[in-house]
Each structure stands twice: as C-alpha cells, then as structure tokens.
Amino acid sequence: MSKTAIALHGGAGTILRKYMTPEKEQQYLSGLEEALTLGDDLLKKGAAALDAAEATVRCLENNPLFNAGKGAVYAGDGTHLLDASIMRGDTLEAGAVAGVRGVKNPISLARRVMEASAYVMMIGEGAEEFGRKEGLEQAPPEYFHDDLRFQQWQRIKDSDQTILDHADKGERNFSTVGAVCLDREGNLAGATSTGGMTNKRYGRVGDSPIIGAGTYANNATCAVCCTGHGEPFIRAVVAHRISCLMEYKGMDLQAACDEVIHRVLKELKGEGGVIAVDPQGHTSLTFNTAGMYRAAREGVGAPVFSIYGPS
C-alpha cells in the first residue's frame, strides 16, 4: 500500500500580480483548494486514482473561473466546443472527446468512452449522441455562458483571429484544467478538460483530448496532464515524452518534466506547463510561463497552492 498524492492545475500563462485583484486571487485560490480537498479526501478514503482524478476535474469544470465546462470560452460559431481526456495507469485504458456541445461534464463523457465503448476517442455530434445514450447530464447553452468570455469573443468574432483565455491587458493564459492522482494501491491516473481557444474555427482541436500529448498515465512511470498552446504540445508529444524519459533514460520525475518543458518545448516556441505524479508519490508542477494555477499534496504533507512563478 503506497501513500496517496494529487496534483492539479487550472491553466498556465502570463499570470501576473499586476493583472490580479486581491479578491480575484482569493477566488482562484479557493477554487484550487476546493478541488484539491475533494480529490485528496477521496484518495485518503481509499478511492481509486481514476475516480479521484475525474471528481477533481469535474469540480474544476463546474467553476466558471476556469476554461472548462461552465464558463468555457466561445468558439467561432458562438457555441462552446469542449474537449476532455482521461487515462488509467494500470491498464493503459483511455478515453477522450473533442468538440462536444451541451455536456455538463465532458470529463465524465471521456470516461464513458473508455469504459462503455470499444473506442478511445469520439468527436462532435457522435460523441454527444453517445453521451445522451449513456445518460450523462446535459446543460443548455446559457449554462456555459460567462460575461468575460462572451465579451472576448464579441471583439474578434468577425475575424480569423483566435485568442487565449483572459487575453486582455497582454495576458496569455492557457486555461485548461487537469488532475493527476496516485491511490493507495499504487495506481496512477490523469484527467484533462478544456474549452480551447476563443473564436477557434474549422474544428480546431488542441492537445487536451489527445492521449500522449495532453494526458498520459502509466503505473511504471508517471501520470501527466498538460496546459499550454496545444499545437507545440502535440508536436512534442509532451505527456508521453516525459514518461519515456523516465522509462528509457532512467530520469526521475522532476528531471524529465524539466527537460521537456524547459528545453524540448521551448525549442518549438511552446508555452505552458505540466502537472505530474510518479508511483512513489512525488509530484511535479513545472511550467515555462509567468505563472500556473496549481495545487498539490503528497501523502500527509502540507498542501501547496500557487499561482505565480518565482519572483
């Protein structure tokens, strides 16, 4: 029986104190604490890593501060196109959905794809139909609305421009959410969810629902969830690359995360970060941006909540 561990994120980017009021900062910290406490309590009570990761991400999806589920950004057609993926480290089973509308918690739909279908990924209307068949909770368009995200879209909706969440005042935030967990039995799991980029068009899909790019879990190495500009993360296969460095080069978790985020990704001009956990319960919260909404707890150690990078 191993110790438990959990790490989560609410997105990375140009997150600076000068853009944050004390009230807004406290709201983000409270959101991170709520999600971490939920997942950590489940793990301490003996829940499986997969269950804890899903529950943690559902909590973040339900919080309009983050770009996933409720409060997701607007796509070019004025709807909310949601992506999610989940993976378990003991069997390497995985599920993912991309470009879905009206599903209250896309991460739960991704899990149903993994457990109740013969597939790994479903997209668009087919995934939505599968979700209704499986009895997943639906939500009307107004449920996902957020005034800030709507105004961001209004300013660019008649152009081919896309922007990142909270891109006002020079900010560049990649507001994906994710959670990685280690349970008492030594099993790892990861879960990721996002609304993508404001005004995205042509069915654009980032790294979040792509197994190996945005999410990966393997009991032999680690569980990883990513947040960043999706295209470089896909090209670098970031989540799986971290696992490979541990498996084939013998790197420890932090060294592998540092190598990928601070060298490989930067060579591709990629911005963002990862959260990761290994079978020994070590966590990594690694990013090459000015900040990342993040939280973690290893075993019975003190929980960590952070927003900004080193000053």
4-44 pLDDT, tens digit per residue, is 999 999 998 878 888 788 999 999 999 999 999 999 999 99
The pLDDT value recorded for residue 153 is 72
The more confidently predicted of residues 174 and 41 is: 41
Q: Which residues are catalytic?
A: 176
pTM comes to: 0.94
Whether residue 152 is predicted with pLDDT greater than 80 in this model: the reply is: no
Reported confidence tier of residue 164, pLDDT bands at 50, 70, 90: low
Whether residue 167 is predicted with pLDDT greater than 50 in this model: the reply is: no
The pLDDT value recorded for residue 17 is 84
Q: What is the mean pLDDT of residues 254-282?
A: 97
Distance CA 105, CA 103 (A): 6
Q: What is the mean pLDDT of residues 156-176?
A: 57
216-258 pLDDT, tens digit per residue, is 999 999 999 999 989 999 999 999 999 999 999 999 999 999 9
